Structure 1
Amino acid sequence: MSTETPTERREAAATRRRWVTLAEVVAVAGVLIAALTLWTNWSDHRANEADKLAAQSSAARERTKIDLSAIVQDGGNTLLLKDARHDLQDVTITFPRALGVSPQRPPAEPVIDKSWFSKPLLKLTDGGADNRAGRLPVLVSVQYFDGDTTRSASGIYEVIWKTEAGLPLMGRSLKLEGLRVRQRGGDQAKLDAIWAKEKPAA
């Protein structure tokens, strides 16, 4: 026979209810923590995937980008165009219209030849000092292989040149010194505007 008083029985029942309530709270908290952990892991995974895709996209853009440089050849008569990542297949060199030189498309190696423009450039700078230096803007359009894909690109580059006094009755001579990029992209109108603003004075 139980010796508990009614008050003791009520207190015992209240204690059991408190333990049940506490267990429910702990269970709900566990579910919430598990859900939060799952969401955090999923969010981190998505962020990592996004970073990986961004890195791959950036690397792909870097691989397809063309960065032309030039090697001076034949004592300054020509510039051999090169790109460290791609083989150049076809090159077209376009000059400012005011210079009166038609676009050139070398049939073999991708070169810039001073014979294409030396006469009008020497004429333009005639009457000044024999020894001069300057830059001639040209629009370079290239086709190249990126893996098995043929791509094209263009940009305005500056052909660095200098003139020197020659032998008596021989006049001045022109030599090519190098090539540097002016801007990626561009067209004939932009090229003509640059030349009109920066062409050398006589």
Structure 2
Amino acid sequence: MTDPAGPPAETPATRAAEQAEQRAETRAIRRRWITIGEGVAVAGVIIAGLSFWNSWQEREDAAAQRAVEQQAERSAQRAKRGRVMLVTVAADDDGIQFAAQAGCALQSTTIRFPTALGVGEQSTVLDHRIETGWIDGPLLKLTDGGADRREGRLPVLIDARCIDEAGERHEAAIYDVIWRTEPGFLNGRSLRLRGLVRREGVSGDGQRRLDTLWTGP
């Protein structure tokens, strides 16, 4: 049954309450949008800061890597500049003639042999050679009783000095003397030296390292 009285009449107090409620809701909505905007702005600042940091860190890492590479290159250049690097010039029945790498004038060398070979230290100043006569007796004796034709390597320690446009270089290094035995006159044998090959640089007690490398022919 319908209420004959109908809906209650709107009063000024009711309208004021509704308006106050609408204004409060509007302010709440405005505050929410402001809060969202502030959050977006803060997030933007954080993202920009992180991007800047990453970019700066990448530049720092790249600079550090370049510094490491440059230092390694300088160290390699210094090591290379410190090398004398002897090379074979000629090999004949009398021995091996050698010289320093191109551009470095060889001044002197001291050549040492494995202790077990029983060959004394040798030095060169003007004519830089390893003479066959220094080592043929011991090597032929050690290889006696086998085939006439044999090949092998004899490690020797060479302390060398040379001079180029940058100054003096000095290096102690172990080289392999490549040798071969051949049949000689009246069933004898002869020793021929064929070349000089660098094995490794040494520091400290080079003679001990040399003796370790020598295991016999």
What runs of 5+ residues in structure 2 fail to find an aligned partner?
1-15
State yes or no: 1:11 paired with 2:25: yes
The Cα of 1:116 is off from its aligned counterpart by: 2.9
Q: RMSD between aligned alpha carbons? A: 3.1
Match of 1:28 in 2: 42
178-187 or 92-101, which moves further after superposition? 178-187
The Cα of 1:194 is off from its aligned counterpart by: 3.0
State yes or no: 1:107 paired with 2:125: yes
Match of 2:13 in 1: none
SS at match of 1:101: coil
Total equivalences in the alignment: 195
The Cα of 1:135 is off from its aligned counterpart by: 1.2
CA deviation map 1:47-106 (0-9, x unaligned):
111221222233223322348463251425214244479665543321112222222232
Tell whether the 8 Å contact from 2:152 to 2:180 is kept in structure 1 after alignment: yes
Match of 2:189 in 1: 172
The Cα of 1:193 is off from its aligned counterpart by: 3.1
Q: Distance in 2 between matches of 1:62 and 1:87?
A: 22
Q: Distance in 2 between matches of 1:30 and 1:109?
A: 78
Equivalent AA in structure 2 for residue 172 of structure 1: R
State yes or no: 1:125 paired with 2:143: yes
152-161 or 108-117, which moves further after superposition? 108-117
The Cα of 1:41 is off from its aligned counterpart by: 1.4
Q: Percent of counterpart pairs with the same letter?
A: 41
Match of 1:45 in 2: 59
The Cα of 1:136 is off from its aligned counterpart by: 0.7
The Cα of 1:138 is off from its aligned counterpart by: 1.1
The Cα of 1:144 is off from its aligned counterpart by: 5.2
Change (3 A) 1:52 1:88: farther
Match of 1:56 in 2: 70
Structure-1-length-normalised TM-score: 0.77
Match of 2:110 in 1: 92
Match of 1:80 in 2: 98
The Cα of 1:10 is off from its aligned counterpart by: 0.8
SS at match of 1:108: coil
Equivalent AA in structure 2 for residue 191 of structure 1: L
Tell whether the 8 Å contact from 2:111 to 2:156 is kept in structure 1 after alignment: yes
What runs of 5+ residues in structure 1 fail to find an aligned partner?
none
Equivalent AA in structure 1 for residue 190 of structure 2: S
117-126 or 26-35, which moves further after superposition? 117-126
Tell whether the 8 Å contact from 2:183 to 2:190 is kept in structure 1 after alignment: yes
The Cα of 1:11 is off from its aligned counterpart by: 1.6
CA deviation map 1:167-195 (0-9, x unaligned):
348x4322222233444426212222333
CA deviation map 1:25-49 (0-9, x unaligned):
1221122112111211121112111
Match of 1:190 in 2: 209
Larger Rg: 1 or 2? 2
Q: Distance in 2 between matches of 1:19 and 1:131?
A: 98
Tell whether the 8 Å contact from 1:89 to 1:144 is kept in structure 2 after alignment: yes
